[in-house]
Amino acid sequence: MRYVVALDQGTTSSRAVVIDEQGRAVASHSNEYTQNYPKPGWVEHDPYDIYYSQLGALKIAVQKAAIDEKDIAAIGITNQRETTLLWEKDSGRPVCNAIVWQCRRTAPYVERLKEEGLEELIRKKTGLVPDAYFCATKLQWIFDNVPGARERAEKGELLFGTVDCWLAWNLTEERAHVTDATNASRTMLFNIHTMDWDEELLRLFNIPRCILPRVCDSACVVGTLKPEILGRSIPVASLVGDQHAALFGQACYEPGMVKTTYGTGGFLLMNTGETLKESASGLLTTVAWRRNGRTEYALEGSIFVAGAAIQWLRDELGLIRTAAQSEEIALSVPDSAGVYVVPAFTGLGAPYWDMYGRGAIVGLTRGAGRAQIVRATLESIAYETADVVRAMEQDSGIALTQMRVDGGASANNFLMQFQADILHMDVVRPQIVETTALGAAYLAGLAVGLWQDEKQLAALWQAERRFSPAMQEQERARRTAQWKRAVERASGWAKEE
Ligand code: ADP
């Protein structure tokens, strides 16, 4: 048996998963690491925390798997996207902490871009809606605030990278300064039509080209793991952003296939094949992956609050003790008795895009209690997801027939059944829900010939449970209309303070 080790460098933890030729997770290990919040709205990671927590997870996972290191065919890397690092080429020393994707410090930079009317240009070239999430303004901030950084960058003394790139540089003997097309597509500096760094955007953001990494395929041997790490030289054979990895791990290889990850937030990606679809609904156009020089694209929509709404029921309202308990409480009543919860705690995302939206509970009557509110909160996750799915169908011109799911809240059978009902399509949960690690492992395995093609991988994917729609069409239409009315009530709330 041969294995691939996937490194899944996430926002709160670094994880390593050992995956065998059959696509089974044999062993894994996770290390949490420190989040730094130097000011309200600012989020930073120490780059060495990222590296060492990941290195530790790798070593322990391999130990737990009790396998011979010579049977490890490749290492794959998947990562939190958009987090921005800049380090010294000679010493490897970071010039400052990593600015995490969540960090809002560059919101004023983005406002300025919008005032200058650059939104459309950026959207056309990068597929992104200008936002502080992406790397470009974070890099600008570093150049504006770290003394000497710009001069040193222009002299070629510094290197920029996202987390995949930072890990590859530190883990490989060659000190490979590389990223893949998915990670590059989240920088707001990469042209997804030409598939290269965009000269006009580099000028606009005043970024010297010499600091940028080489952009590789997502499945590609980028270097060799330093032999002192596992006692052997092992190819590092994939770099890929986490959501893209999950789409690959879910075997969504055909245009029109969609996966939804129900984590703290919700992430939907639709494969649109080799066609780049522009969105009219505020979805992002992104690179799904690039393999053998061939790019496939995806539409992406996020939901700010998914599983977080269940945490709110538990931690703020105290209505449930555990997230899992929400299922039995929801099922203890026949319906939500007309109650709708809109969990717009941080505004409304696609397709509403209303940063002044705030949470609301509407439709309360004297008989509505704990169970109805718990049920309505779970239902809200399904309604929000359905809104994004409909936007994707509209933007892509593809009518969906089913959706693949993963993430913590996909364990909730009530939620999955209600999702199938409201979408009027099958919702399918795979046996292996570690799809992010699986996707990185699959890409790495393809690069070294452990697997031959997507067809072989698609055959490894197995459904654990399929939820089929059972709700009457009339009922579905009525509830969806009620949800829209509830959203209207919550919209713009904070604007009228
Ligand atoms: P992340 O990767 O964002 O940390 P996970 O995929 O680990 O998220 O999922 C955690 C989220 O899933 C939490 O917000 C939690 O409330 C929610 N969750 C976990 N189990 C259930 C469940 N059985 N029903 C509903 N929500 C759940």
CA 406 to centroid of ligand 1, rounded, Å: 10
Q: Whose CA is nearest to atom 26 of ligand 1?
A: 409
Residue 412: both structure tokens together: 């909730």
- Residue 361's SS3 state is strand
Give the pLDDT of residue 35.
87
Residue type, 248: F
161 found inside a domain: yes
CA 145 to centroid of ligand 1, rounded, Å: 37
34 found inside a domain: yes
CA 287 to centroid of ligand 1, rounded, Å: 26
Give the pLDDT of residue 495.
79
Ligand 1 atom at minimum distance from 306 CA: 14
228 found inside a domain: yes
17 found inside a domain: yes
Give the pLDDT of residue 401.
85
CA 409 to centroid of ligand 1, rounded, Å: 4
> In this predicted model, what pLDDT tens digit does every residue of 206-247 receive, in sequence order?
999 999 999 999 999 999 999 999 999 999 999 999 999 999
By CB neighbour count within 10 A (0-12 exposed, 13-18 middle, 19+ buried), where does 81 fall?
buried
81 found inside a domain: yes
Ligand 1 atom at minimum distance from 378 CA: 25
Q: Whose CA is nearest to atom 21 of ligand 1?
A: 409
Give the pLDDT of residue 496.
64
Give the pLDDT of residue 268.
96
Cα–Cα distance list, 358 to 195, 201, 345, 450 (Å): 38, 35, 5, 49
Give the C-alpha separation, 437 to 371, whole Å.
Answer: 36
CA 471 to centroid of ligand 1, rounded, Å: 25
CA 178 to centroid of ligand 1, rounded, Å: 33
Give the pLDDT of residue 104.
87
Residue type, 265: G
Q: Which residues have a Cβ under 8 Å from the Cβ of 142 and sit 6 or more positions away?
A: 84, 86, 95, 96, 99, 149
369 found inside a domain: no
CA 322 to centroid of ligand 1, rounded, Å: 10
Ligand 1 atom at minimum distance from 311 CA: 16
Helix or strand holding residue 442 (H, E): helix 435-447
Which of the residues in the chain have pLDDT under 70?
496-497
Domain that holds residue 234: 3-243
Give the pLDDT of residue 485.
97
For residue 166, what is the domain's CATH number?
3.30.420.40
By CB neighbour count within 10 A (0-12 exposed, 13-18 middle, 19+ buried), where does 459 fall?
exposed
Exposure letters 423-441 (e unless 16+ CB within 10 A, then b): bebbbbbbebbbbbbbbbb
Ligand 1 atom at minimum distance from 411 CA: 23
> In this predicted model, what pLDDT tens digit does every residue of 26-70 receive, in sequence order?
999 999 999 888 988 888 999 999 999 999 999 999 999 999 999
Q: Whose CA is nearest to atom 18 of ligand 1?
A: 409
Q: In terms of DSSP bridges, do strands 158-161 and 426-430 run parallel, antiparallel, or are they unpaired?
A: unpaired
424 found inside a domain: no
CA 261 to centroid of ligand 1, rounded, Å: 10
404 found inside a domain: no
Cβ proximity of 159 and 86 under 8 Å: yes
Ligand 1 atom at minimum distance from 327 CA: 24
Give the pLDDT of residue 102.
84
Q: Whose CA is nearest to atom 1 of ligand 1?
A: 263
Task: Tell me how many domains the chain contains.
Answer: 1
Q: In terms of DSSP bridges, do strands 402-406 and 258-262 run parallel, antiparallel, or are they unpaired?
A: parallel
Query: Long-range CB contacts (< 8 A, 24+ apart) of 448-452?
Result: 448/73, 448/74, 448/221, 448/235, 448/237, 450/2, 450/4, 450/21, 450/73, 450/74, 451/21
Give the C-alpha separation, 427 to 402, whole Å.
Answer: 6
Q: Whose CA is nearest to atom 23 of ligand 1?
A: 324
CA 264 to centroid of ligand 1, rounded, Å: 6
Ligand 1 atom at minimum distance from 307 CA: 14
The ligand 1 site (C-beta within 6 Å) comprises 263-264, 307-308, 310-311, 323-324, 326-327, 407-409, 411-412
